[in-house]
């Protein structure tokens, strides 16, 4: 295109001394160099982290006498060393799933309310508050959830075990709920809620006015308009918002460690103590670990690294389907 | 199917700002009315108040009456959503839904309809609407392709197909050709002349020749100064507005444009 619309011969008379023309090209080249460089840097950094994790975890894998995928205990400094990721995997995935199940729909709901339902003045105040909350370190929410919110969970737990106790998931004594996987999931949900709602609000505000008006002019109610014009357009951004929330949930350490320190085992009764997450386990055990112990913790970090990678790649793949129909036209 | 519109003492506001003042105007069923006037005189604002799209802007309100075959669309028990299903709209910039196929775009409005009284199949409605919008021949082999893959002129006709698929009684068009090339413009003008057999049409245009070609009646709007409300200066049969306008302002505007 550029060569057709602006052949070099036409540029000449406009720019006799060639300064402007070449400086534009130099600017382009600098920018290209910078952006390529940054792209390569990110790849090198990722590779570097992977190599470091693999390198440091080799001792643990060679010393381990159990199958790391199925073993349910964590005794890497024993003789012989025995450890496995099954419990951590279970705890991480289940707490994150619970957090996502709660925080993502509520987060989208909050964002939709602010973007499309709230009166203008209320919307701007709420939008500001949500952005502010998203910037607060998640541990603050974690602590709030632990010390303020937990007591209110017990009555809910009583209700659940009384009326839904026949479901194996909930069959438990309400008193021990506060140290459960479910509680950890709840705390995580509170922590990622502002992230999910702040980002999806931003995404909803990007929907072009003309698509919103097209739907309304066809006689859509507000909710129909949201389904017709907002969701299809915002889908990639909504997935990204959920993924960033998930990233925070997967990597959250202290709050989960505070809830789930009691037992290291897989317990399908999510209302009873049990499980632990990769990040929390690293934080809990690092200080007292020996050489093989540290190596084993790094190995668990490697597993978390790959989980995150897979989650993100899946999200990318979901986003890139139906690319022809993406909103970018 | 089409209906008459009577606008009575209509004032249109953006918050405290009075954008259009004191409009009284009748648009007969099965006729084409053109709104002309300088930029900022409130043509779009008035047009959008006719299908209650004006009020989707925060703070925007109207005062007065708009009667659709005698029934006030601003009456206390009237649902604006139903008004918009009866009075369709085509925008200045073509706005097909980017995530939907051509086919899905056409039936987008139908999917909203609660009443299932129409017996034709979706396929038939898609075909007849696209034929009605003069687009069928160009897209019949690629109905599953994204609506955004069409040219601008085709997209605008797709938007017209989408608007007529729900069988409205009135069609509002806000400068529907301003983003289009002359050939697409002529295609849409032909279409407007065909559509008036079935619909009452109001079109906003800056193009005098276009108003002359497609409309039966014309209303001229003006503002006395920036920040003042737009008012309707004169209305009448298009031929009279262009050849022997009653008002000096109309004369200046119309002749200025013709050089
Ligand atoms: N969303 C809005 N909020 C506040 N004022 C508005 C808004 N839209 C339009 N106005 C004002 O209302 C007046 C009429 O605008 P309108 O868009 O109806 O003019 P128009 O006749 O359609 O102009 P054009 O020919 O340029 O499209 C203008 O003074 C404009 O600044
Ligand atoms: Mg306008």
Q: Do A217 and B51 touch (CB under 8 A)?
A: yes
Nearest by Cα to B135 from B154, B162, B163, B107? B154
Q: How far is CA A301 from the centre of its chain?
A: 16
Contacts of B84 in chain A (CB under 8 A): 216-219
Q: How confident is the model at residue A261 (pLDDT cuts 50, 70, 90)?
A: low
**b/e sequence A275-290, b meaning 16+ C-beta within 10 Å:** bbbbbbbbbbbeeebe
Any B CB within 8 A of A251 CB:
no
Which residue lies with its CA nearest to atom 30 of ligand 1? B40
Angle subtended by helix axes B182-195 and B152-165, to nearest 10: 20
Flag residues of chain B having pLDDT under 50.
257-259
Q: What is the pLDDT of residue B117?
A: 63
List residues near ligand 1 (CB under 6 A): B 14, 17, 19, 39-45, 57
Nearest chain B Cα distance for residue A11, angstroms: 30
Any B CB within 8 A of A221 CB:
yes
Tell me the Cα Rg of chain A.
26
Calculate the average pLDDT of chain A.
Answer: 83
The token pair at B156 is 């605008």
Ligand 1 atom closest to the Cα of residue B15 is: 4
Greater model confidence, A139 or B174 = B174
Whether the per-residue pLDDT at A329 is higher than 50: the answer is: no
Judge contact between B151 and B182, C-beta under 8 A.
Answer: no
CATH number of B5-95+168-258: 3.40.50.300
Which residue lies with its CA nearest to atom 3 of ligand 1? B14
Q: Do B108 and A329 touch (CB under 8 A)?
A: no
Q: Model ipTM?
A: 0.90
Rounded to two decimals, what is the model's pTM? 0.82
Q: Do B99 and A233 touch (CB under 8 A)?
A: yes
What is the C-alpha separation between B187 and B193, in angstroms, rounded?
10
The answer, yes or no, to whether the previous bond of A82 is cis (omega within 30 of 0) is: no
Checking A261-264 for CB contacts under 8 A at 24+ apart, the result is A261/A179, A262/A179, A264/A72, A264/A73, A264/A74, A264/A87
DSSP SS3 for A291? helix
Q: What is the pLDDT of residue A11?
A: 42
Which residue lies with its CA nearest to atom 25 of ligand 1? B39
Q: Do A219 and B166 touch (CB under 8 A)?
A: yes
Distance B40 CA to ligand 2 centre (A): 7
What is the C-alpha separation between B62 and B52, in angstroms, rounded?
9
Q: What is the pLDDT of residue A171?
A: 62
Nearest CA in chain A to B147: A325
The token pair at B229 is 């409300």
Q: Of A7-16, A129-138, A284-293, B42-51, which has the strongest mean pLDDT? A: B42-51
Judge contact between A63 and A77, C-beta under 8 A.
Answer: no
Greater model confidence, A290 or A165 = A290
Greater model confidence, B249 or A171 = B249
DSSP state string for A212-245: HHHHHHTT--HHHHIIIIIHHHHHHHHHHHHHHH
Ligand 1 atom closest to the Cα of residue B48 is: 18
Q: How confident is the model at residue A258 (pLDDT cuts 50, 70, 90)?
A: confident
Q: What is the pLDDT of residue A228?
A: 92
Whether the per-residue pLDDT at A235 is higher than 60: the answer is: yes
Paired residues of B223 in beta bridges: B230
Show me where the domains of chain B are located.
5-95+168-258
Whether the per-residue pLDDT at A231 is higher than 70: the answer is: yes
Q: What is the pLDDT of residue B122?
A: 85
Which residue lies with its CA nearest to atom 7 of ligand 1? B14
Judge contact between B36 and B211, C-beta under 8 A.
Answer: yes
Task: To the nearest 10°, report the CA torsion of A117, A118, A119, A121.
Answer: -150
Q: Do A213 and B91 touch (CB under 8 A)?
A: yes
DSSP SS3 for B19? strand
Q: What is the pLDDT of residue A4?
A: 41
What is the C-alpha separation between B241 and B255, in angstroms, rounded?
11
Distance B20 CA to ligand 1 centre (A): 9
Q: Do A329 and B98 touch (CB under 8 A)?
A: yes
Distance B203 CA to ligand 2 centre (A): 11
Show me where the domains of chain A are located.
20-63, 74-325
Nearest chain A Cα distance for residue B185, angstroms: 21
Nearest chain A Cα distance for residue B255, angstroms: 34
Residues B48-102: pLDDT tens digits?
A: 999 999 999 988 999 999 999 999 999 999 999 999 999 999 998 999 998 899 9
What is the C-alpha separation between A191 and A175, in angstroms, rounded?
23
Judge contact between B251 and B245, C-beta under 8 A.
Answer: yes
CA distances from A146 to A149, A195, B70 (A): 6, 19, 64
Ligand 1 atom closest to the Cα of residue B43 is: 21
Q: Do A217 and B148 touch (CB under 8 A)?
A: no
Q: What is the pLDDT of residue A172?
A: 62
What is the C-alpha separation between A58 and A61, in angstroms, rounded?
5
DSSP SS3 for B63? strand
DSSP SS3 for B233? strand
DSSP SS3 for B172? strand
CB pairs under 8 A between A and B: 81
Considering only CB atoms, A219 lies closest to which of B99, B109, B149, namely: B109
What is the C-alpha separation between A62 and A47, in angstroms, rounded?
22
Distance A230 CA to ligand 2 centre (A): 25
Average pLDDT over residues A141-166: 77
Q: Give just the sign of the alpha carbon dihedral A129, A135, A138, A143.
A: negative
Best B50, B98, B113, B165 member to test A by mutation, with max A CBs in 10 Å, is B98
The token pair at A206 is 């990007």
Homologous superfamily, domain A74-325: MetI-like (1.10.3720.10)
Whether the per-residue pLDDT at A9 is higher than 80: the answer is: no
């Amino acid at each position: 295109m550029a060569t057709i619309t602006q052949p070099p011969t036409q540029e000449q008379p406009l720019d006799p001394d060639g300064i402007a023309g070449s400086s534009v090209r130099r600017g382009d080249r600098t920018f290209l160099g910078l952006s390529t460089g940054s792209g390569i840097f990110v790849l090198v950094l990722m590779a570097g982290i992977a190599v470091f994790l693999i390198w440091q975890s080799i001792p643990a894998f060679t010393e381990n006498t159990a199958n790391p995928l199925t073993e349910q205990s964590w005794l890497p400094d024993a003789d012989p060393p025995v450890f496995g990721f099954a419990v951590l995997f279970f705890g991480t995935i289940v707490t994150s799933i619970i957090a996502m199940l709660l925080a993502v729909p509520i987060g989208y709901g909050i964002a939709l309310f602010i973007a499309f339902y709230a009166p203008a003045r209320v919307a701007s105040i709420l939008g500001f508050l949500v952005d502010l909350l998203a910037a607060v370190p998640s541990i603050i929410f974690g602590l709030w959830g632990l010390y303020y919110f937990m007591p209110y969970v017990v009555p809910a737990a009583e209700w659940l075990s009384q009326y839904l106790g026949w479901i194996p998931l909930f069959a438990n004594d309400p008193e021990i709920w506060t140290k459960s996987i479910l509680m950890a999931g709840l705390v995580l949900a509170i922590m990622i809620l502002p992230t999910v709602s702040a980002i999806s609000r931003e995404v909803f505000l990007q929907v072009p006015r003309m698509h919103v008006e097209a739907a309304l002019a066809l006689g859509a109610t507000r909710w129909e308009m949201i389904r017709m014009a907002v969701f299809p357009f915002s889908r990639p951004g909504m997935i990204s918002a959920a993924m960033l929330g998930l990233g925070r949930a997967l990597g959250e350490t202290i709050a989960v460690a505070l809830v789930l320190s009691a037992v290291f085992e897989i317990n399908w009764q999510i209302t009873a103590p049990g499980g632990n997450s990769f990040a929390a386990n690293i934080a809990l055990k690092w200080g007292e670990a020996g050489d093989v112990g540290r190596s084993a913790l790094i190995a668990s970090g490697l597993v978390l690294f790959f989980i995150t990678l897979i989650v993100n790649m899946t999200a990318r793949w979901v986003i890139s389907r139906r690319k022809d129909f993406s909103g970018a036209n | 199917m089409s209906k008459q519109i009577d606008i009575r003492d209509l004032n249109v506001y953006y918050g405290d700002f009075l954008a259009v003042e004191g409009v009284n105007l009748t648009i007969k069923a099965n006729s084409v009315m053109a709104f002309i006037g300088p930029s900022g005189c409130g043509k779009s604002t008035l047009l959008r108040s006719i299908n209650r799209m004006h009020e989707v802007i925060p703070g925007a309100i109207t005062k007065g009456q708009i009667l659709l075959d005698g029934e006030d669309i601003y009456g206390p028990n009237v649902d604006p959503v139903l008004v918009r299903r009866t009075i369709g709209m085509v925008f200045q910039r073509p706005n097909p839904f980017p995530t939907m196929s051509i086919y899905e775009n056409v039936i987008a409005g139908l999917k909203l309809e609660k009443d299932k009284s129409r017996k034709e199949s979706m396929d038939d409605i898609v075909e007849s609407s696209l034929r009605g919008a003069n687009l069928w021949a160009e897209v019949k082999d690629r109905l599953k392709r994204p609506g955004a893959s069409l040219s601008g002129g085709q997209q605008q006709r797709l938007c017209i197909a989408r608007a007529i698929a729900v069988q409205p009684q009135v069609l509002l068009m806000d400068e529907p050709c301003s983003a289009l090339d002359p050939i697409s413009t002529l295609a849409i003008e032909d279409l407007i002349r065909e559509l008036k057999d079935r619909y009452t049409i109001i079109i906003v245009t800056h193009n005098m020749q276009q108003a002359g070609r497609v409309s039966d009646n014309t209303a001229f709007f003006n503002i006395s100064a920036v920040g003042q409300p737009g008012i309707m200066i004169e209305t009448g049969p298009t031929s009279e507005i262009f050849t022997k306008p009653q008002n000096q302002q109309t004369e200046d505007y119309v002749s200025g444009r013709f050089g």
